[in-house]
Structure 1
Amino acid sequence: MPAASARPAKAAERRGNTAALLGSELLTLFRRRRTAALIGALALIPILIGVAVKIAGESSSGRGPAFLDLITQNGLYVGLTAITVATPLFLPLTIGVIAGDTIAGEASHGTLRYLLIAPAGRLRLLLVKYLSAGVFCLAASLTVLVVGTLVGWVLFSIGPLTLLSGTTVTVGEGLLRLLGIAAYISVSLLGLSAIGLFLSTLTTVPVGAMAGTAILAVAAQILGALPQLDWLHPWLFTDHWLSFADLLRDPVQWASFGDNALLQAGYIVVFGALAAGRFLSKDILS
């Protein structure tokens, strides 16, 4: 009986240790100057777009990124334009830096052995590192959209949002849809984060894992642009990245959301298992 009652207590203790470790990891991550620089660089995207449109005026319809020609009519489109620009390149680059540094960064600084000496365990440490990268995905997406909304409000004012289907929704509902887009983009980047985590377990040089993650993101998008490889497109982790536009329809088209979540889950399972297999069998020398 005492042994049986001790099991829930040990489980609760493990959950508490994991939560404490995750909290410590998140504090460390967001206190780094590099993280602040990445967030700042993402915030510059909507700022530059808003200021450029304010100075240059309205663009010709159909030219430039999606929603660009609508910015002067409604400042909410600054965030939408910025996230359209950031998703294919800038967001993957920042995620590559964070995910590629998860394990390799600790190894390069000689702190990995110390973390494993503490009551963390390899699998728990790997999980915490991945969760922290996932939190950064959300923070990065929100940065682009929130800063874009604020810039649009200051420079152009905001009003009811006209959706792609032609329906107009209130400002409040428009803001909720922007939050939904941030969540969608965050989920879209989880597969890339898993790839970065795996690459980070392969090396003690974080720059190599960072570069490898970013290169794979670019390569997947190039492959996705080739019509000759239509059979491959549904398997690419980038295939649904821009399908967040389905949140701007009335009614919302939910099919792409489920397909995207399933695709990213597949990458998380495969590359998470590869990362765990590598990390559990790896000799930690630093």
Structure 2
Amino acid sequence: MSRAELTEERASGRPGAERPDGAAAAGAPARSRAVWSLGLFRSELTITFRRWRTLALLAVLAAVPILVGVAVRIETSDGGSIGSGGGEGPAFISQITNNGLFLVFTSLAATLPFFLPMSIGVIAGDSVAGEASAGTLRYLLVAPSGRTRLLLAKFTTVLVFCLAATLTVAVSALITGALLFPTGEVTLLSGTAIPFSEGLLRCLAVAVLVAVSLLGLAALGLFISTLTNSGIAAMAATVGLLITVQIVNTIPQLHAVHPFLFPHYWLSFADVLRDPVYWDDILKNLGVQALYTAVFGSAAWARFTGRDITA
């Protein structure tokens, strides 16, 4: 399919559809507008997930648990131990040899500081700016697309990628852990033993929490994407800002601002592996992500709807 045909399909909101004229769009009932919005979102989702860049990012994320699992297997092949325990972040690695399910938690903790958010930053940063640099943004805004609906479709697509990227890591780790290490009854960090089926449910809960933890960064990246016509500049700025915030979050002298930084509570998902679950940091994390999403999502909407589109 040529670029012109691809752009036509995206502007139409559904494959093979013809764009209705302005009068038809203005008189369309609410149901037709809802169908149109769904078609636009479906088109954006299809375009995003069939790009080689997106597939490459997912492939890298899937490879991380395999590398970690193989490394732990080799390290412990002579009966030795690895890791120091403690139950937070990469310290999950000490539990992998006892139960392969812990490779899921270890892999999420290992990818969360950089690999996962970097992938989100690339997709979010390129969402609007990439269209402008390719010269397709003006065409996509032809009626009846609308700026608000287009921006909402872009943001929803980024959110779906957040979940897809997190599940890619989790599923890859689950398969690798089951192949390389024993599985069965899971001993939580609090010492409580639970069935393997409940452990899988906690894995799913952790994956969803990690995906939600990336919403603030996704909104920030979308806002940056509305500020420039260069997709590369938007991606670089988003990833650069991510690294800067991560550095600030590690400086003890700046502890007063740490609770307000979007990555500060990222590893709070470890509290799901306790009985009972510790909700304090998890709820704080959800609150911070909701705040960033509301602030930068609104800023992105204000900027995009009031901006002169020249590309």
Please tell me the TM-score bracket, short chain as reference. Answer: over 0.9
- 8 Å CA contact 2:107, 2:169 repeated in 1: yes
Give how far 1:84 is off. Answer: 0.6
1:143 aligns with 2:174: no
Give, as a single letter, the amino acid of the residue that structure 2 aligns with 1:42: L
Q: 1:73 to 1:128 in 2, by over 3 A?
A: same
State how far apart, in whole Å, the 1-side matches of 2:231 and 2:208 are: 27
- 8 Å CA contact 2:66, 2:172 repeated in 1: yes
1:44 aligns with 2:69: no
Q: 2:45 aligns with which of 4, 26, 29?
A: 26
Q: 1:223 aligns with which of 248, 251, 259?
A: 248
State how far apart, in whole Å, the 2-side matches of 1:257 and 1:19 are: 32
Other-structure match for 1:157: 182
Q: 1:56 aligns with which of 75, 95, 100?
A: 75
For residues 68-108 of structure 1, what are the alpha-carbon distances to aligned partners after superposition, in whole Å with 9 as ceiling and x for unaligned? 12211111111111111000010111001100010011111
SS of the equivalent of 2:277 reads coil
| Larger CA deviation: 223-232 vs 53-62 | 53-62
Q: 1:133 aligns with which of 142, 149, 158?
A: 158
Other-structure match for 2:18: none
SS of the equivalent of 1:67 reads helix
1:124 aligns with 2:142: no
- 8 Å CA contact 2:223, 2:299 repeated in 1: yes
- 8 Å CA contact 2:72, 2:82 repeated in 1: no
Other-structure match for 1:167: 192
The correspondence of residues 225-244 of structure 1 with structure 2, limited to 5 A, is 225-244=250-269
1:284 aligns with 2:294: no
Give how far 1:118 is off. Answer: 4.2
Q: 1:14 to 1:257 in 2, by over 3 A?
A: farther
TM-score, normalised via structure 2 length: 0.86
State how far apart, in whole Å, the 1-side matches of 2:119 and 2:112 are: 11
SS of the equivalent of 1:186 reads helix
What value does the CA root-mean-square deviation take over the aligned residues?
1.6
For residues 182-234 of structure 1, what are the alpha-carbon distances to aligned partners after superposition, in whole Å with 9 as ceiling and x for unaligned? 11011110000000001101111111111111122222222122222121011
Q: 1:76 aligns with which of 88, 95, 101?
A: 101
Give how far 1:254 is off. Answer: 2.1
For residues 117-148 of structure 1, what are the alpha-carbon distances to aligned partners after superposition, in whole Å with 9 as ceiling and x for unaligned? 14110011111100100000001111111110
TM-score, normalised via structure 1 length: 0.93
Give, as a single letter, the amino acid of the residue that structure 1 aligns with 2:63: L
Give how far 1:18 is off. Answer: 1.3
State how far apart, in whole Å, the 1-side matches of 2:143 and 2:49 are: 22
Other-structure match for 1:247: 272
- 8 Å CA contact 2:128, 2:225 repeated in 1: yes
Give how far 1:256 is off. Answer: 2.4
State how far apart, in whole Å, the 2-side matches of 1:188 and 1:164 are: 21
| Larger CA deviation: 52-61 vs 164-173 | 52-61
1:102 aligns with 2:130: no
Give how far 1:20 is off. Answer: 1.2
Other-structure match for 1:3: none
State how far apart, in whole Å, the 1-side matches of 2:83 and 2:299 are: 47
Question: Percent of aligned positions with the same letter in both sequences?
Answer: 52
- 8 Å CA contact 1:59, 1:68 repeated in 2: no
SS of the equivalent of 1:117 reads coil
Q: Which runs of 5+ in 1 are unaligned?
A: 1-6
- 8 Å CA contact 1:75, 1:158 repeated in 2: yes
Give, as a single letter, the amino acid of the residue that structure 2 aligns with 1:219: T
Q: 1:10 to 1:254 in 2, by over 3 A?
A: farther
